[in-house]
Structure formats: C-alpha cells, structure tokens
A and B are shown apart, each in its own frame.
Chain A
Amino acid sequence: MGNYHELEMRVVYAQTLNELIARNPDVFCLEADLGKADASIPVVSQRHPRNFINCGVQEANMIGVGAGLAREGKIPFCSTFTAFATRRCYDQITISVAYANNNVKIVGTSPGITQGPNGGTHMCFQDHAIMRAMPNMHIYSPADAIELRAVMYHMADSRQPTYMQLVRPKMPKLFEEGDPFDPHQAKRLHDGRDVTLVATGFMTSFALEVARQLEKENIAVDLLHYPSIKPFDARTLVDSARRTGAVVTVENQNILGGLGSAVCEVLSEHHPVRVKRLGVPDRFGEVADQDYLFNKHGFGPDHIARACRELSNSKS
C-alpha cells in the first residue's frame, strides 16, 4: 500500500515491474536505452538484474527479442518513447507480436504533448490510431498511478499482445486502490444527462476538472473514461449517448484514428448523435509546453468546456 499518486508514473511503472517479477520470475523488463528515463534504471536493473535487458538503441530488435522470449513463456515489457515503441517498429510488432500471437507487452512512454521539449521528431500523435488498426492488439491508456498498477497486473496475467501508453510525470489521483481494471469496461467518473464526455489516459483528469466546473453552470456531464481503447466498451457509450444525445471526445492524439474515431464508429452504427472530437487536428508536434499546444490545437480544459456547452445547448 502506498501513496502512488505522489510518485511519478514512471517510478510507479518501475516499482510495479519489480512486484510483478518478484511474483512471477518470467516477467522481464526490456529497454532500448531509455531505462533511466523510464526509471527502470536503477529501480528494476538493481533489484532484478537477470530480468532486466537493455537492448541499446534497437527498437526493432527489442520487439523481436521480446517475441522470442514470449514464445518461451516469458512476459516481456518492452518500453521506449511512444514514437519508437510503435511507428518505428510497426512491422516488427505486426508480424513478430500480433500476427504470431506472441505475448509481448509494449509500453510507449511520454505520449503526445507530454513529450514536450523533444519536439516534433519525438512527439507522436498517431500511436493509438496505428495500433488500433492492428488485429490481435489490445491498447490501454491508464489515467493515474493506481490505474496504471491495475493495468500492469492485468497485462502480466493475461496472454494477450498489448500496447500501453505511459505518462511519465505525476498524475492527479482519480482512482482508489482495489478499483478493478477490465478492458471491456469503461469507467463513469461523473454522472450527467446533458452531454457525454469521453476521455482516456492523460486527458481524463482534465476532463474530470471540466465536468466538475460545468456542474456549477448546471450542465451535467456524463464523463466516461476509457482505460482500454481496444477492446472498446461500446455498450456504455451507446447507453450514455441515448441519455445525453451529444458526445464530446478528447484525446492527447491525432483526432484521426484514435479514441474519437472509435466513438464515431460505434455511434454511427448503433446510435447516431452529434459528436465533437477534440485532440490534435492532423498536425505534427513541435517543441512547446502543454498550454501552448492545448491552445494551438484546441483540446485543453477551456476547449473541452466550450465544446460541452455548445453540444449541450445545441440539443435544446
């Protein structure tokens, strides 16, 4: 038991890996020369040196080594920045992991605008979209440290190729220890009948802030957090859309192909209502801070609130 939300998420990631390795020595931590950035150096490398493998700057090889380990019953967590964890080795993941059904866990760190000072070369807005288009791949995006731990325990216990986004800094506490993680179940964080707000990962705490703020304006937001983008809990979304009649989505990603697209796919087939997608409008990243990028692309708390007001009003 600990106050995990007081720790950086990357430290929680590394400490949780230690727990998972202690519990099951088949769990491995693989890095591609970003172990210090992920805190697995020294947290995992010192505690479990035999289960820690630094592949060097070899993302493609790391995925293949992970696939080979998985074929022998190991459970490798392969971590690097989102850009390199997905788009750089997309074919390796497609063939050696997903197509071959090798039980590899891929962890993309510093998603979207949280990449910050590394800028456009490293800032990846497409990982959810490209990973979602891959059969036999689960995609998780935990929103706080407690949920991160629940997701990692689930990953270690499931025999399922998986991609997880990992935000590295501290995140506000949203969940209680013991809250279950079920990839087939969205979580309702705020109950309302006026507008549905759908969020995941890094954006969920901002969305909750907005839902609470709009309560004061008598706008009741039905906030759904999706810790799993794939599989996607369609039923909770459709039920909510039936109640509210309008849906806003927000994601730390390109609005093409990710959470917003998943929402539109489900609603257009099962219960068409108006949807507003917030996120990065098909642009590359750049060196900039969070507020600058929120304002430039229009998906910060103010923009989320505005979209919720608009959609809520447009129904009446």
Chain B
Amino acid sequence: MGSQQLTREQLDSLAAEFRYVVTDAICRSGVGHIGGVMSLVEIVITLYYRIMKVKPEDPHWPERDRLVLSKGHAGPVVYTALAYKGFFPKDWLTTINKNGTRLPSHMDQILTPGVEITAGSLGQGLSCACGLALAAKHDSRKHRVFCIIGDGESDEGQIWEAGLFAGHNRLDNLIVICDYNKMQIDGRTDEIIDLEPLADKWRAFGWETFEMNGHDWDAIYDTIQKADAVSGRPSMIVTHTIKGKGNRETEGLVDCHNVKIPDETTYQRLMCGLECKFDLPY
C-alpha cells in the first residue's frame, strides 16, 4: 500500500513498459481501444504508484482510495496497473477480451479485483463516483474518490448532471480528471461537438478547476496534490493529453480510438512503433 518513491527515470521506464505490455495484451484480442489507453498511462501510473492508498491483497479495504474509470473503454491501462500492483496475476492480461475473461474491454466491478465501478456506457461512471463520494462524506470517512472521464464522454448530458450535483453537494473528496486528448471516434472534438471553453464550464458549475499536461510527471503529481487540498468543492483537472501517445503508429491520430489488429504484420508494426522493447511479464 501507500505511495512509492520512484525516480523520473524509473517512472519513464515504467510508462514505456506499460505501453509495451498493454499494446501486446490488446493485440492478443485482435481489436482494442489503444488511443484512449495510451493517453492515460502517466496519469494511471501516478495515481496507483504515487497518490492512491490501496491494498492489492485486500481490494475491499475500507480506507482505500477509489478510482472510477468512467471512460470505461480504457480498462486495459487500469488492468495493467492493477496487475503490476498485484491485484491479480499479470498473465490475466493475456485474456483481455477473450471468452470467459475477467478483464473485459470495459470496466466491470463484479469480474475484476480492484475495479470499483462498472463503466462503459458513457456518462454513468461520474454519477456513480458522486455516490461513492457522498457515502464517504455521510460516514465521515477520509478516503478520496478519483474519477477519469473522457472528452468525448463529456458530450453526455449525464456528465453535466453529475457536475451540478457534485458542485451543489460540495463533494471535495471527489477529484475528476478529464482526459482531454481532443479526439473522439468520429473526429476531433472541436469538429464533432466543441467542448470549449471546457475549464470555464467546470468553473461555472462550482468546481475548483485546474489544467495540466497529462504526460508530465511533476505536473500530474503537483496538480493532483493541489486538488486534494481543495476544501468545500469538487475538483476538475482538465488534462491535456495526446491520444495514442508513445507509439509512432497511433500518436495523435484520430483513427487510433479502436484499432484492429487482424494479423501478425499489423501486430509487428504496432509493437515496433513503441519507444522501447521489454520482456513480456507473462
């Protein structure tokens, strides 16, 4: 449990390894949401290795911090973190999206140890995170609720219902990270449904609002610490990221949302597009 002191070099190496492993794991199922997984690697590592209190040997430890991945299609990056932290064996990662798996493409609180809330039908996870935060407030418990939403997901009306609700109920134990990679399935967010001015919208909803670079270790850590110190209102961290980050074949490309890997050639091309090569842990 608890946070670990990792050097920047160790963090960089861990991020590269996560990207290598999660890409391999997704490729094994033939198709997957590589773009929105890669944009979250540094954020998820920071949460699980530097911020959140969790006990892998006791996933239901009452005092644990909660993470809700409302953009549930990025499940594989959280699965990678959970496996590396020891919630389940790393070889489970080879079963992502396979028949009978406990690691489905979208987050499932029943199947996967360490997953707090089932999510995938967009917009719903943030409401559930509000319920988790409200329960903690009601019981005067000190753990924090983190929630990651997508920018495309922010088109959903329910996100803004939850925004009003959390602001009104002063859920200052709720810290939300919006993965603002500025791309959704059909194109750039400013072409499909423009979210701007996104940070101002959350400010107007009564949230303490921050912006950060979602691939900068110090920025992520420092901003989350600032959000954690906020009192009397929920925190929104509008996080600027790059979809498909860390792979030449996907980085910054609109079409990397859900990538098909039909054959060995595509697999090799994707794996060669990554920055470093690692031994697979399974």
- A-side residues, CB < 8 A to B, are 50-51, 53, 55-56, 58, 60-61, 63-74, 76, 91-92, 94-96, 99-101
B124:A92 contact, CB within 8 angstroms: yes
A71:B116 contact, CB within 8 angstroms: yes
Write the chain A residue with the least CB distance to B107.
A100
A99:B127 contact, CB within 8 angstroms: no
Assess whether B128 is interfacial by the CB under 8 Å rule.
yes
Interfacial chain A residues near B109, Cβ < 8 Å:
71, 100
A69:B162 contact, CB within 8 angstroms: no
B131:A67 contact, CB within 8 angstroms: yes
Encode B99-110 as 1/0 by CB contact (under 8 A) with A.
000000000111
Report how far A60 CA is from B169 CA in the complex, Å. 17
Assess whether B175 is interfacial by the CB under 8 Å rule.
no
B128:A64 contact, CB within 8 angstroms: yes
B131:A72 contact, CB within 8 angstroms: yes
Name 15 interchain pairs, CB-CB below 8 A, sorted by A. Answer: A53-B169, A58-B161, A60-B157, A61-B127, A61-B158, A64-B128, A64-B130, A65-B128, A67-B127, A70-B131, A71-B135, A92-B124, A99-B118, A100-B110, A101-B110
Assess whether B267 is interfacial by the CB under 8 Å rule.
no
Tell me which of A58, A71, A100 contacts B165 (CB under 8 A): A58
Assess whether B52 is interfacial by the CB under 8 Å rule.
no
User: Least Cβ distance of A1 to chain B in Å?
Assistant: 31
B128:A71 contact, CB within 8 angstroms: yes
Report how far A70 CA is from B109 CA in the complex, Å. 13
Tell me which of B110, B117, B139, B161 contacts A68 (CB under 8 A): B117
Interfacial chain B residues near A92, Cβ < 8 Å:
121, 124, 127, 158
Interfacial chain B residues near A71, Cβ < 8 Å:
109, 116-117, 128, 131-132, 135
B110:A61 contact, CB within 8 angstroms: no
What total of A-B pairs shows CB separation below 8 Å?
101
Report how far A33 CA is from B127 CA in the complex, Å. 17
User: Least Cβ distance of B229 to chain A in Å?
Assistant: 23
Report how far A72 CA is from B143 CA in the complex, Å. 12
User: Least Cβ distance of B174 to chain A in Å?
Assistant: 10
Report how far A34 CA is from B252 CA in the complex, Å. 47
Tell me which of B120, B125, B131, B136 contacts A66 (CB under 8 A): B131
Beyond A64-B125, A68-B133, A71-B117, list 15 extra A-B contacts (CB 8 Å).
A50-B138, A58-B164, A61-B130, A61-B165, A64-B127, A64-B131, A65-B128, A68-B135, A69-B131, A69-B132, A71-B116, A72-B139, A74-B135, A99-B118, A100-B118
Report how far A65 CA is from B117 CA in the complex, Å. 12
A63:B127 contact, CB within 8 angstroms: yes
User: Least Cβ distance of B159 to chain A in Å?
Assistant: 9
Interfacial chain A residues near B168, Cβ < 8 Å:
56
Report how far A67 CA is from B68 CA in the complex, Å. 13
User: Least Cβ distance of A71 to chain B in Å?
Assistant: 6
Write the chain A residue with the least CB distance to B130.
A65
Most A CB within 10 A of own CB, among B117, B119, B161? B161
Assess whether B25 is interfacial by the CB under 8 Å rule.
no
Interfacial chain A residues near B125, Cβ < 8 Å:
64
Interfacial chain A residues near B131, Cβ < 8 Å:
64-72, 76
Write the chain B residue with the least CB distance to A89.
B158
Chain B residues 126-151 with CB under 8 Å of chain A are 126-136, 138-139
User: Least Cβ distance of B125 to chain A in Å?
Assistant: 8
Tell me which of B108, B127, B134, B162 contacts A53 (CB under 8 A): B134
Tell me which of A68, A73, A101 contacts B134 (CB under 8 A): A68
B135:A95 contact, CB within 8 angstroms: no
A56:B165 contact, CB within 8 angstroms: yes
User: Least Cβ distance of B260 to chain A in Å?
Assistant: 25
Top 7 closest A-B pairs, CB basis? A68-B131, A64-B127, A72-B135, A100-B118, A61-B161, A68-B128, A65-B131
Write the chain B residue with the least CB distance to A59.
B161
Write the chain A residue with the least CB distance to B169.
A53
B118:A68 contact, CB within 8 angstroms: no
Interfacial chain A residues near B133, Cβ < 8 Å:
68
Report how far A39 CA is from B88 CA in the complex, Å. 48
Report how far A60 CA is from B134 CA in the complex, Å. 16
B165:A55 contact, CB within 8 angstroms: yes
A95:B138 contact, CB within 8 angstroms: no
Interfacial chain A residues near B169, Cβ < 8 Å:
53
Most B CB within 10 A of own CB, among A66, A68, A69, A96? A68
Interfacial chain A residues near B134, Cβ < 8 Å:
53, 65, 68-69
Tell me which of A64, A72, A74, A101 contacts B124 (CB under 8 A): A64
